Every structure is written in C-alpha cells, then in structure tokens.
C-alpha cells in the first residue's frame, strides 16, 4: 500500500513537471494551412497523403509523354493556392506560412520544386499580353477559371 | 480518345506505394502499344498521348520549321524577343544566362553576299546532345521535339559542347519570375522547346507567330511527315538545306536561301 502511494506520488510529481514545462513552452503549434476556394482535384486527405507521389508520377508523364491534360500539374496547385496580399499581389506558395511552406516547414521537409517552377500564377498583365498575341493558355489562365473547372469536375472531395 | 492514343495503366499512388507507378509503367511500356492508363488514385487516370501517332496520311508526326532566309529582315529580332517574352528568358543573354534562339548574319567574304536568319535548336533526328547525355535527360520525343528533362539533368554541359549549332545554354544563376509553362532554374541545360505546350495545344511556336505578326512570314511550322501540311508542300517545291547537313544529324529545321 505504502509502495503504491509512493509510485503515485512520483507520477504526480512528473506530471506536474510536465505540465509546468508545457505551459512554459506554450501550446503545440500545428500548421495553419491557407485555404483555397472551391474543390481540390482529390479529397483533401488523399491529397495530403499522396500529393508528392502524384506530382512525381505526373512530371514523368508530362515531360516525356506529353500528358498535358492531367489535373495534377504543379502549376494547378499554384494557381489555386497562391494567396494574394491585401493589395492583390500574389504571394509565392513557398514563402513562409504559405500553402506549400507551412507543412513542409512543420515536418522538416526540404523541397526544391520552386527553384525552377513558378511559385505564383502568371500575372494578369502577362496573361492579357499573351492573349493579345493569340495564345490560348487555358490551363494557366486567371485562377478563377481554373477553380470553376475544378469545382465542376467529376472528382468529389472536401472543400479546400 | 482515339485508338491511336495510348493509355498507361499503373497502380494507385494513393495506396501509398511510392514506387508503384514507375514500376507498373515500365512493365506496360514493355507491352509496346497496349492500351493502358496510369491510375494515380481511385477514379483518377492520366492519359498519356502516344506522340508517335500516325498522321492523317499514315506517316508519323515530326514537327519542324522552314526558315526562308530571303524573307528574314536584317535587324529584325521579333522572333528572339517573342521567345524571351513567352518563355521568361532574360533579354540580356550572357555566359550564365540562357538563349534559345538568336539571329545570325552570314557574309561571303568573296562576294559580299549577306543573309540574316534565326538559329535555334535544330531538333535533329540524330542529335549529338541526345547521344552524349549521360543521364538520358536530353531526349527526343517521338514527334521529333528535342527536350531537356530537367528532373534528370545534372548540369554537366556535355550537350552544350556537343551541339554544333550552339543551341544549348546553361543556366548559371538563380532564376526568378519563371513562366508556369517554362520551368527553368540554376544548374540545368536548356534549349528551344519548339514551344512544346503551345504546339500540343495546336498553337504555333512563339517565334513563328511573332514572325507572322511582324509581316515577314519567314518561318513556317508544321508536321514534316504530313504531305499535305504547308511546310511539307513547301519543302517538296523549293530547294532548301539544313545547317551542317554534312554532320548527318538530320535536323528538323530547314533553311531556304542560304
């Protein structure tokens, strides 16, 4: 009996130390992921688990086999998920706290996608200039068009 | 999707098997022409077009250019500027900055005969860049477009040395403001892509469109293997040449009047 009380006392002390330490550290920080309107191309859980594999598989198909109709282009992620500053300028998705960076920073993953790939959608000015030259870059158009296309797609999923 | 299209079927990446799509694709490629689709997740399929599709008249597709040096204006660089603008290249090409197309002026010292014309990747059938590439990054698509797969490029620059047209460039500095359709970054070789995503969408390459807009119409783009295409008709009617034809690399870019 006495021995049991002793164990309980030790546990209580350890718990108290842990609680004090946790309170000192502040709450556990989980990434706050910026949300995009409309539906993603897949259910959110599936995207969170498999986006890296999708992008990896698709990049082969796009570069070497010209599968340019796929919805899993990295430019599609950027088109929907790049946030705007209050003044309307797009923020790169790999900037601190932004869609790609926030989780990768949390789990300590280093990606170099955006050393080459654009981290912001093309500016409206550029899209307008190219449209003036007769270039139909439908999939890179202003994100709203893309969002509507994705929202109306056959893929059902969560609303991020 | 027509029967000429090919689908690649693979196991679901969604199942959490990281290596599965590659392995399955390899197996399916060995099946040579079997219909398949790459299933990336339940209900999600990527269709890869077979680029070696037969053209309207049964010939295989090979994209190429015909450049009429007689119509090309000395001092006009509309094609060069259009390329830089569309693909997000610097307007100030240098040793560590890429240049995909350039204007070249040739003069015969004996007669004074001068011509000005653009030179870019000649999209050879047997390109030296593809031969020398140690990683398979430099490759020729079945439709004749020669590209760098930058996911595989290690930046060794063998292709820069091997290309007799000096068509490849090396990106030696950090790049910002890339176009979404033209990813490019430090440490890889690159060259003219024949504006592959425009061509896929049925558009003309940026340089050809710019030349037409400028009113010179010195550049013709099309399928060399379709006898009814404008470029094939022209090539069958007039005397043309390819640059350094003696090297036997069979370029897809033809010149008239040089």
Of residues A56, A68, A130, nearest to B200 (C-beta):
A68
The count of structural domains within chain A is 1
- Rounded to the nearest angstrom, the gap between the alpha carbon of residue B253 and the centroid of all alpha carbons in its chain is 10
Q: How far apart are CA A106 and CA A109, in angstroms?
A: 8
pLDDT digits (tens, 9 = 90+) for A69-93: 667 888 888 888 888 888 878 899 9
- Is residue A153 over pLDDT 80? no
Nearest to A140 among B174, B181, B196 (CB): B181
What DSSP designation does A138 have? G
pLDDT given for residue B67 in this prediction: 97
Q: What is the 3-state secondary structure (H, E, C) of chain B?
A: CCCCCCCCCECCHHHCCCCHHHHHHHHHHCCCCCCCCEEEECCEEECCCCCCCECCCCCECCEEEEEECCCCCCCCCHHHHHHHHHHCCCCCCECCECCCEEEEEEECCCCCCEEEEEEECCCCCCCHHHHHCCCCCEEECCCCCEEECCCCCCCCCHHHHHCCCCCCEECCCCCCCCECCECCCCCCEECCCCCHHHHHCCCCCHHHHHHHHCCCCCEEEEECCCCCCHHHHHHHHCCCECCCHHHCCCCCEEEECC
Q: Residue A74's domain spans which residues?
A: 44-151
A83 touches chain B (CB under 8 A): no
Would the CB atoms of B51 and A75 count as touching at under 8 Å? no
Q: Is residue A137 part of a domain?
A: yes
| Structure-model confidence comparison of residues A26 and B250, the more confident one | B250
Q: What is the pLDDT of residue A136?
A: 61
For the stretch B135-161, pLDDT in tens is 999 999 888 999 999 999 999 999 999
| pLDDT given for residue A19 in this prediction | 73
Q: Which of B49, B185, B186 sits opposite A67 (nearest CB)?
A: B49
| A28 domain-assigned | no
Q: Which residues of A touch B151 (CB under 8 A)?
A: 59-60, 63
Residues 6+ apart with CB under 8 A from B173: B96, B97, B186
Tell me whether residue A83 is in a domain. yes
- All residues of chain A having their beta carbon less than 8 Å from the beta carbon of residue B197 are 68, 137
Chain B CB contacts of A118 below 8 Å: 177-180, 183
- Give a yes or no: residue A30 inside a domain: no
CB atoms within 10 A of CB A113: 19
For B48, the closest of A65, A78, A116 (CB atoms) is A65
Domains in chain B (CATH in brackets) are 1-50 (no CATH), 63-256 (3.30.70.20)
pLDDT of residue A145: 35
A-B contacts at Cβ under 8 angstroms: 124
- Considering only alpha carbons, which residue of chain B is nearest residue A57? B21
pLDDT-based confidence at A150, cuts 50/70/90? Answer: very low
A90 touches B: beta carbon within 8 Å = no
* DSSP assignment string, A50-113: HHHHHHHHHHHHHHHH--TT-S--HHHHHHHH--B-TTSPBPPTTSTTSHHHHHHHHHT----H
Min mean pLDDT across A15-29, A43-57, B126-140 is at: A15-29
pLDDT tier at A138, thresholds 50, 70, 90: very low
A5 belongs to a structural domain: no
Residues of chain B with pLDDT under 70: 1-59
> How confident is the model at residue A141, as a pLDDT?
36
pLDDT over 90 (residue A109): yes
User: Please, are residues B56 and B64 in contact by the beta-carbon 8 Å criterion?
Assistant: no
Whole-Å CA distances, A14 to A1, A21, A141, B206, B242: 20, 10, 58, 70, 82
ipTM metric = 0.75
User: Does A109 map to a domain?
Assistant: yes
Q: Is position A19 within any domain?
A: no
Among A41, A42, A50, most B C-beta atoms within 10 A, so best to mutate, is A50
Residue B80 has what pLDDT? 95
For residue A30, the distance in angstroms to the closest alpha carbon of chain B comes to 24
Sign of the dihedral defined by the CA atoms of residues B185, B186, B189, B191, in that order: positive
The reply to whether A23 falls in a domain is no
User: What does the pLDDT average to over A93-117?
Assistant: 92
């Amino acid at each position: 009996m006495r021995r049991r009380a002793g164990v309980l006392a030790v546990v209580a002390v350890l718990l108290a130390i842990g609680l004090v330490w946790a309170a000192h550290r502040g709450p556990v920080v989980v990434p706050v992921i910026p949300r995009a309107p409309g539906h993603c191309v897949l259910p959110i859980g599936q995207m969170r688990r498999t986006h890296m594999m999708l992008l990896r598989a698709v990049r082969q198909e796009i570069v070497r086999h010209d599968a340019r109709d796929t919805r899993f282009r990295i430019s599609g992620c950027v088109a929907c998920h790049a946030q705007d500053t209050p003044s309307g300028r797009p923020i790169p998705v790999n900037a601190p706290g932004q869609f790609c960076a926030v989780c990768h920073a949390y789990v300590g993953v280093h990606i170099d996608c955006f050393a080459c790939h654009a981290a912001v959608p093309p500016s409206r000015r550029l899209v307008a200039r190219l449209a003036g030259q007769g270039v139909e870059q439908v999939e890179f158009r202003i994100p709203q068009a893309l969002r509507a296309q994705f929202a109306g797609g056959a893929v059902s999923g969560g609303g991020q | 999707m027509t029967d000429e299209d090919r689908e690649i079927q693979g196991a679901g990446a969604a199942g959490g098997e990281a290596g599965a799509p590659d392995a399955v694709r390899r197996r399916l490629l060995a099946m040579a022409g079997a219909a398949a689709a790459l299933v990336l997740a339940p209900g999600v399929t990527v269709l890869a077009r077979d680029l070696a599709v037969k053209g309207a008249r049964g010939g295989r597709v090979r994209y190429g250019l015909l450049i009429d040096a007689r119509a090309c204006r000395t001092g006009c660089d509309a094609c060069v500027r259009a390329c830089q603008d569309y693909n997000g290249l610097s307007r100030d090409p240098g040793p560590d900055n890429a240049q995909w197309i350039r204007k070249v002026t040739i003069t015969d010292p004996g007669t004074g005969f001068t011509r000005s014309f653009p030179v870019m990747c000649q999209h050879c059938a047997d390109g030296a860049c593809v031969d020398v590439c140690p990683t398979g990054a430099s490759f020729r698509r079945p439709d004749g477009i020669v590209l760098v797969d930058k996911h595989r490029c290690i930046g060794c620059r063998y292709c820069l040395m091997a290309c007799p047209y000096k068509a490849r460039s090396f990106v030696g500095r950090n790049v910002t403001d890339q176009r979404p359709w033209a990813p490019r970054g430090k440490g890889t070789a690159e060259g003219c892509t024949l504006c592959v995503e425009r061509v896929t969408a049925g558009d003309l390459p940026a340089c050809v469109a710019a030349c037409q807009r400028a009113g010179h119409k010195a550049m013709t783009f099309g399928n060399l293997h379709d006898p009814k295409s404008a470029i094939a008709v022209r090539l069958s009617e007039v005397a043309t040449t390819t640059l350094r034809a003696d090297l036997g690399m069979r370029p897809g870019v033809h010149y008239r009047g040089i």
